[in-house]
Amino acid sequence: MRGPLGAVIGRYPSSDGVNQMGGIIRHNRKCRDITVLLIFIAFWISMIVNSSFGFNQGNPLRLTNGLDYKGNVCGDKHAHPDLGELELRYWQNPNQVYQSGLKNSQFKLANARSICLLDCPIPSEDSLDWVCDYPEGDIRLSMTDWINRNYDYFEFLTPEMRNSSLQLQGPCYPVIFPSVNVYWSCQFIARASNTSLKHWQQMGGVNINEDIVIDKSIHKSINSHSAVLKRYMADVGKAWPVLIVCGGILPLFLSVVWLVMIRHFVAAMPWITVVFFNVLIVSVTIFYYLKAGWIANDAISPIIGEHDPYINVFGRELTHLRVATVVMTFIMGVAILTSIAIVRRILMATSVLKVAAKVIGEVQALIIFPLIPYGILAVFYMFWISAALYLFSSGQIVQNNCNSNCCTYDLLAKRVNCDLCCGYSIHYTPHIGVAILFHLFGCYWATQFFMACSSTVFAGSVASYYWNHGETSHEIPFLSVFSSMKRLMRYSLGSVALGSLIVSFVESIRFLLESIRRRLKVSSYEPDNCLGRAAYQSAQCFLRCIEWIIKSVNRNAYIMIAITGKSFFVASSTATELIMNNILKIGRLNVIGDVILFLGKLCVSLSSVVFAFLMLDTHKYKSSRYKISSPLLPVLVCWALGYIVATLFFAVVEMSIDTIVLSYCQDSEEHQGTAQYAPPLLVETLSDQNETQRLTQGTQ
């Protein structure tokens, strides 16, 4: 049997029978769940080591830019030669590109001769232009002169070099096909220049295949799943100013404004929140329709450079964006119908929020404290996103082992070399995938941990307010929030780490099951009968219910941890028993309050999405250097960051309500149904709620 909280909280007698006035919450606590705390510390050390591997092995330029014939990453200023300004990959030998596009060909595009350029070459209208290898050996040109000459030094070649070039073995290659910059690769257009091709034939050059297949292999390479995933990650890196403004600063400002308004305009806030939510979700859906090209003419395009209007290059990103648009339309419909359904419950939500507004007004440090976890999470996310970019781009650049005929002229050896002429690729080892999964899990666990710490601190401060009869006497210092934080840091970090680990573990299992399902679907092993699909959907529903229950139980467990200082499982058991004994009394009240708070969080996060769309629509993110392939992932990241920031600040209201309700239940149990410590406003609210419930049931 658990002891009465009145002996733990409030005025408790000392050994001499005199009431102690030294504090509201007793300080004779013990450190709990130390083993999990040690595991959490080891986890942080592992995160640092894992991130160090990424910083050491990765290069974010690999996410978008290709490799040249020397194995250098285009745009890498540390390469030899310096490629700092040369970000575009261009395939010099059109016949190799043609062969890689044939159905049964053994030649791969990765082995085709490629070079890094400043812009994509276009055939001349009255002569034949050339793209030559980087100047070295007997070619006495600097890289700057080579660029200024449009990569052409054909006139300086010896007869042997010219003959080799006419055999498409370099060091110079003809510009026969026009090309356009598509995702930092020069995509051939399936139409050869008649003038350039005529000059090439007059010079005695070998036959050049000009069939439409010339562009298929490049298009397939650009639209591969791995290339699209890398571009999405690169989008996050390029849009970092958007993430800071729309994922950090804006939600911080809006969350503080919402808390201030809930303090002074509590009666109007539920209505304002519902209306604002509907306006925002409609606005976000319209932005998706605009970017998908279904409204107006603002669809995202994979083409970066100037191009003829007849060119139609389709990117996989546009398909993903259109799928997201359909999903967003469905969510908008459900959200609007749900908000209409809860209109009748708004008055009940107002009474709940009045209690939280009273607490915020009395314990004023509650509004200030979220800045601390906000700052910690901001630093963590900057470190985490940087490490993620390097981890996703880690791997070793190795030369391919090919058996194809790819002889090229070696400027240093002064001869045609048929050895080691294959292209280069980035080799990924299995442990890189494990490192990425660990990094993703670490982000989720750390986020849950910091949010749990914040909630526990709020609960401890609000409990002090309740068990002092709702008064701010000299027993509750103005900075009671920081007293609660001190107790957390000293005694309960292990318990909070355990609760956040359980949530992260369940979420990870659900993520892995979803990944397995997608893999089976691709491999055509997805259950094709109704029973198999029903079993899968049931398993998913079961896991979601488990996740929701665990999050709810954890939140109440954090409250009891803050109040009693017990271990996680003991506090969870105590909180669950209190809720089950008073489920009819507090159930409907808590649900309506949580719905309004959830809509408030969505308002903040959807506002971040709207401003992210507006910022990503500027010229900076449509130009060649900083162009993003799709606004989809940066917008989703801004939404997630905005929701997390809103959760940190809205936890002030959320935990205030839950802590006072749990304390009220315990207070009622200890005093035979009469809560002696409850503030008058809470008693009035719960009495009104019970009366409303009684009248509602009586009319049914």
Q: What HEC string does 519-566 produce?
A: HHHHCCCCCCCHHHHHHHHHHHHHHHHHHHHHHHHHHHHHHHHHHHCC
Mean pLDDT taken over the chain: 82
pLDDT tens readout for residues 170-191: 899 999 988 888 889 998 887 7
Q: For residue 429, what pLDDT is reported?
A: 83
Q: For residue 505, what pLDDT is reported?
A: 84
Least confident of 13-22, 261-270, 504-513: 13-22
HEC profile for 15-69?
CCCCECCCCCECCCCCCCCHHHHHHHHHHHHHHHHHHHHHHHHCCHHHHCCCECC
Burial class (CB in 10 A: 0-12, 13-18, 19+), 16: exposed
Measure the CA–CA gap between 111 and 97, rounded to whole angstroms.
Answer: 9
Confidence check: pLDDT of 72 > 80 = yes
Which helix (H) or strand (E) covers residue 130, if one does? strand 130-132
Q: For residue 311, what pLDDT is reported?
A: 66
Task: State the pLDDT confidence band at 28, using cuts at 50, 70 and 90.
Answer: low
Are 32 and 495 in contact by the 8 Å Cβ rule? The answer is yes
What's 184's DSSP letter? T
Confidence check: pLDDT of 225 > 90 = no
Measure the CA–CA gap between 301 and 308, rounded to whole angstroms.
Answer: 14
Measure the CA–CA gap between 50 and 392, rounded to whole angstroms.
Answer: 12
Q: For residue 474, what pLDDT is reported?
A: 47
Which residue, 568, 565, 558, 572, is CA-closest to 491?
Answer: 565
Q: For residue 430, what pLDDT is reported?
A: 84
Q: For residue 555, what pLDDT is reported?
A: 81
Number of residues in the chain: 700
Which residue, 137, 164, 165, is CA-closest to 152?
Answer: 165
Q: For residue 685, what pLDDT is reported?
A: 63
Q: For residue 232, what pLDDT is reported?
A: 92
Confidence check: pLDDT of 17 > 60 = no
Q: Identity (one letter) of the amino acid at 553? A: V
List, in order, residues 6 or more apart from 290 with CB less than 8 Å away. 296, 298
Which one has a higher pLDDT value, 585 or 101? 101
What's 117's DSSP letter? E
Provide mean pLDDT across the span 315-334: 91
Are 578 and 662 in contact by the 8 Å Cβ rule? The answer is yes
List, in order, residues 6 or more apart from 249 with CB less than 8 Å away. none
Least confident of 13-17, 33-37, 82-86: 13-17
Which one has a higher pLDDT value, 95 or 464? 95
pLDDT tens readout for residues 129-148: 999 999 988 888 899 999 99
pLDDT tens readout for residues 355-413: 777 777 777 778 888 899 999 999 999 999 999 999 999 888 888 887 767 788 888 88
Q: What percent of the chain lies above the pLDDT cut of 90? A: 31
Measure the CA–CA gap between 123 and 115, rounded to whole angstroms.
Answer: 17
